[in-house]
A and B are shown apart, each in its own frame.
Chain A
């Protein structure tokens, strides 16, 4: 790619900030239509039960109420939310009905929907609906699920929806004569992405033209349009999905939820625009949960710390249904148990188990956060057993630069194989330790200073990105010679407008201020799009921009050649003019008497693998269990940086989210399947005063060979190793007590208890 222009790689301040800092962003709840109705949804208060009756007659009579919809109004059978990723036939029976008809399976499941003149009237009417549910025993953890005494789907005979298995080499042989083995159990807790903007939708049905417009869609609009078209029984191209500003996704927002059917259905049902905005309590009990996993894992090593094999079992609590991307985290736990390390023999199975809790989906670094915690905890225990320095243990086992591309474990039952694309994992570890000042801080390990115990840890990680199969982009040379960019990918708050403008400006060799606007995330802009997940937008979408730019330049040169009487290959396009060898030229504007539009695409099935290392320094007060994060360094190599400002923002922001998962965030349930953390006063996320010292560094020495930008997806790496590195630093601090944290989160009360137990 041509880089004479040099916007790519520069810390360009964001274009989208002009509207956001002035309160001019436009989020879905900001939209209003004159004749619009408001929807409110009645949620089950029972975790598991048989619905005897739902009486909506009183609610219907409330002035201002236009309709009350229950499952009986949605056809027979009620549509199910399908799997978008890993859509295997085995999962189909476990799909979520968009509204509960005969059974409820979690607290928060939709039972009825009211459409009224205002949101307040709609909510009033919910309390007038009489629901009679016969309670059944609730499954509130994976062990109870595995017992299969209570079944969520009686006709299936089991709560297990699938078993994935990561296989490589011969684990049985590797363990048979291994000089050293250690077996451990670990767990990570249920938590969630929690974007600051609640979900919302505005659906408009044009009966005369048979067209549906859904505003507030995000992340994967084309995929959601396919699902909705099928469920509504209308053609895909009669639906427009429109993305406005999106207040964060982190994997969770924008997937197809029951409401993504219910609100468009309601708009068609009443023939008026219908808007719905969830409240935070609804959000916490309905949006995808994540991260609840446990493992029983065993490692085999030589006495000098060379890993011979990893084997064991993991268990993932899926909640009540298999949602669109619900299997991704479980799959990744199997695939990334070996992480950045050379493990020749692997046999890990992962069992997916249903429970009477909110269904799960992806949250930034799905499965990776969990499995990195398991592995890195285990590694520190092993290094201690073998008397090997913890950093040296990792160095001995990191995949080396000259082993690339390096095949990772295959995951049954999937046919696809994955390989790490490029990189020098030792170099990011070196940089991390240097920035952190490991050598100087090393003497603090386990030391008590002024009543607090200090600990350090360093861990390495890999981050997958660039999911295929394809992404699209359209470039339009406008009649005034400016450029408009249209993307098939989706902007969910990460700053794609700026990044794509940088890529387009360089590719067209033009100033960024001649780019009018970067439009993204709506089905109207390009013929096909794939969206924003698996850290894919820059690699896939950015490469599609390059393809579109090449095509646009070809079209511009052809047009210029016609006007200038020369060969198209002889035309140069610098400085806003198209020039012939004889010096004659025309402006770009003259080349476009009508807007000149081209569409480009990039197809790719190979993943990118950003990688890096994190290090932490903590001080633990054993009297209270409180941990102060004294220093944290995150280093990631992403092949090629587009915008260091936004990339570092992603890195540090992801680390702090990970710290929330390590210390604070927990969607706790009681034994009856009641959610105990249904507000932000109970579900704690990091605040400005919690973790003031995080330092992020980005390297780009090993461009990815999989795409013309050389970029690697890098939106998720910051969160992946955090649980492991924090738990290891705490274990190091408390080594004199023999405390070994095996479960997250490391809340003060849990840590205090671990210290008390160790003292006994």
Chain B
């Protein structure tokens, strides 16, 4: 069945099976492979995207449920050249190793900092506790997110 929504600011129309997840639609139909699928049951958070501004596990919603929504993926939170302050902070703090969970961490952190640019370390840990990382032990990720708060506080969106 047809579904029309917006991805990273561009309108898209796709003909999908009703059972197709938004994650698979983004990855395999729209070829936006920055969104990663780690568990397909809503635990790992690797597939987190923004749907109308909220962090959503794209493996837990169907593509057809995105009808009319504004979807933003990690690609949409990136510049053509260089890194955003949030991405640069991840690099500076070595907040990633294998990179597989990173897109979900970036989208989740972006949603948090956009809403709560003054959040403290406990709040960052609480929000990120829904995203699994097997490499870093998380401490550097929390530091990276805290260090990126300034870019969101200045009235910017960090992007």
Contacts and interface: CB of A to CB of B under 8 A. Distances in A.
Interface of A: 13-14, 16-27, 29-30, 32, 120, 193-198, 245-248, 250, 279-280, 492-495, 645-646, 648-650, 652-657, 679-681, 685-692, 694
17 contacts: A13-B92, A17-B99, A18-B83, A21-B99, A22-B83, A23-B103, A30-B27, A120-B20, A193-B134, A195-B100, A196-B46, A649-B140, A680-B43, A680-B44, A685-B132, A688-B141, A692-B142
Given A197-B36, A681-B43, A22 B94 contact: no
Which bracket fits the contact residues of B?
A: 35 or more
Nearest to A693: B139
Contacts of B78: 21-24
B35 interface: yes
Contacts of B74: 22-23
Contact of A21 (B33, B43, B90): B90
B98 A21 contact: no
A259 B29 CA distance: 26
Interface string B29-59: 0011111111111011010000000000000
Given A21-B87, A22-B75, A248 B98 contact: yes
Nearest to A196: B100
Given A21-B83, A23-B75, A652 B137 contact: yes
Interface of A is mostly: loop
A680 B38 CA distance: 10
A21 B96 contact: yes
A24 B82 CA distance: 13
Interface in B98-150: 98-103, 106, 121, 124-126, 128-142
B101 to A, nearest CB: 5
Contacts of A195: 98, 100, 134
Contacts of B97: 248, 493-495, 646, 649-650, 653
Contacts of B142: 688, 692
Contacts of B75: 22-24
B28 interface: yes
Contact of B99 (A247, A279, A646, A694): A247
A248 to B, nearest CB: 4
A196 B44 contact: yes
B70 interface: no
Contacts of B133: 196, 688
Contacts of A32: 28, 31
Contact of A24 (B34, B134, B139): B34
A21 B98 CA distance: 11
B90 A691 contact: no
Interface core residue of B34, B37, B135 (most chain A CB under 10 Å): B135
Contact of A198 (B38, B96, B99, B126): B38
A25 B35 CA distance: 10
B19 interface: yes
Given A14-B91, A23-B32, A680-B44, 16 more contacts: A16-B99, A21-B78, A21-B91, A23-B103, A24-B34, A196-B46, A196-B135, A197-B100, A247-B98, A493-B97, A495-B97, A649-B135, A657-B137, A686-B137, A687-B129, A687-B132
The list of the 3 closest CB pairs from A to B, nearest first, reads A23-B34, A493-B98, A20-B99
Contacts of B19: 120
A510 to B, nearest CB: 23
A345 B131 CA distance: 48
Contacts, number: 181
A120 B17 contact: yes
Nearest to B31: A32
Given A680-B39, A688-B142, A689-B126, A694 B137 contact: yes
B63 to A, nearest CB: 13
Contacts of B136: 649, 652-653, 656
B41 to A, nearest CB: 6
B40 A17 contact: no
A680 B41 contact: yes
Nearest to A646: B94
A81 to B, nearest CB: 25
Nearest to B103: A23
A622 B134 CA distance: 29
B91 A13 contact: yes
A32 B91 CA distance: 29
A630 B121 CA distance: 16
A688 B94 contact: no
Nearest to B28: A32
Contacts of A493: 97-100, 135
B134 A194 contact: yes
Contacts of B137: 652-657, 686, 691, 694
Contacts of A21: 78, 83, 87, 90-91, 96, 99, 102, 106
A653 B106 contact: no
Given A13-B91, A687-B138, A688-B129, A245 B99 contact: yes
B102 A26 contact: no
Contacts of A495: 97
Nearest to B33: A30
B83 A196 contact: no
A652 B140 contact: yes
A193 B134 CA distance: 9
Interface core residue of A247, A494, A685 (most chain B CB under 10 Å): A247
Contacts of B139: 652, 692, 694
A653 B97 CA distance: 9
Nearest to A654: B137
B83 A688 contact: no
Interface core residue of A21, A26, A195, A691 (most chain B CB under 10 Å): A21
